[in-house]
């Protein structure tokens, strides 16, 4: 084979290779059909809708939780303002014990105290910090400590002010005297 024939053969092979590559590229770049375009648009619209729905659902849940928290905070604030009344009623009832008092007075104070207690029950407000309970520094405020063998270790010996909580939220810590603590 002559040099000229070799060059012609190589040129023909290069042209054939180039044409094959161009046809492959042209086949890959083929235009999508109208149906494929509509499918893509539908997929994009569905994705957008699902994202919007998820965003709205998160907003709805967040505002619902905020409303519940606002209600709980408002209830706690209102109960906190009424607690001195509860303390006064408790002290008034303790003053009647062992004394001769007209029954109308003691009966009236007891009725008011029972109404207040039932209102607290409806609002899920519960007192805590009774004598004999175990001392918990998270909910009790220790005023002082005493040594008393008749009581156990870290037990409430005396209550100066009853504590109250609304469900799990502490409205007011109990002020107590703790026995046998270190």
How does pLDDT run across 45-98, given as a tens digit for each residue? 999 999 999 999 999 999 999 999 999 899 999 999 999 999 999 888 888 777
Q: Flag whether pLDDT at 21 surpasses 60.
A: no
User: Does the predicted model carry a pTM greater than 0.75?
Assistant: no
Q: On the CB side of 43, how many CA atoms lie within 13 Å of its CA?
A: 6
The single residue listed with the structure tokens 């109250």 is: 164
pLDDT at 168: 86
- Of 6-20, 144-158, 159-173, the range with the highest mean pLDDT is 159-173
- Enter the tokens of residue 94: 């303790």
- Average pLDDT of the residues of the chain: 85
Percent of the chain with pLDDT over 90: 48
What's the CA gap between 55 and 61, in Å, rounded? 10
Helix axes 103-122, 34-96, angle to 10 degrees: 170
Terminal Cα-to-Cα distance of the chain (whole angstroms):
110
What's the CA gap between 153 and 159, in Å, rounded? 16
């Amino acid at each position: 084979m002559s040099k000229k024939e070799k060059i012609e053969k190589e040129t023909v092979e290069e042209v054939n290779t180039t044409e094959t590559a161009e046809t492959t590229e042209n086949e890959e770049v083929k235009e999508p059909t109208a149906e494929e375009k509509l499918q893509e648009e539908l997929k994009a619209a569905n994705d957008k809708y699902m994202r919007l729905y998820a965003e709205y659902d998160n907003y709805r849940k967040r505002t619902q939780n905020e409303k519940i928290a606002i209600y709980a905070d408002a209830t706690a604030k209102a109960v906190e303002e009424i607690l001195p009344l509860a303390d006064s009623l408790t002290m008034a009832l303790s003053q009647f014990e062992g004394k001769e008092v007209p029954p109308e007075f003691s009966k009236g104070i007891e009725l008011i105290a029972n109404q207040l207690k039932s209102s607290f029950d409806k609002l899920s407000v519960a007192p805590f910090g009774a004598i004999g309970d175990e001392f918990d520094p998270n909910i009790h405020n220790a005023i002082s400590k005493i040594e008393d063998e008749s009581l156990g270790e870290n037990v409430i010996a005396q209550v100066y002010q009853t504590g109250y909580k609304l469900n799990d939220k502490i409205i007011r810590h109990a002020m107590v005297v703790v026995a046998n603590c270190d």
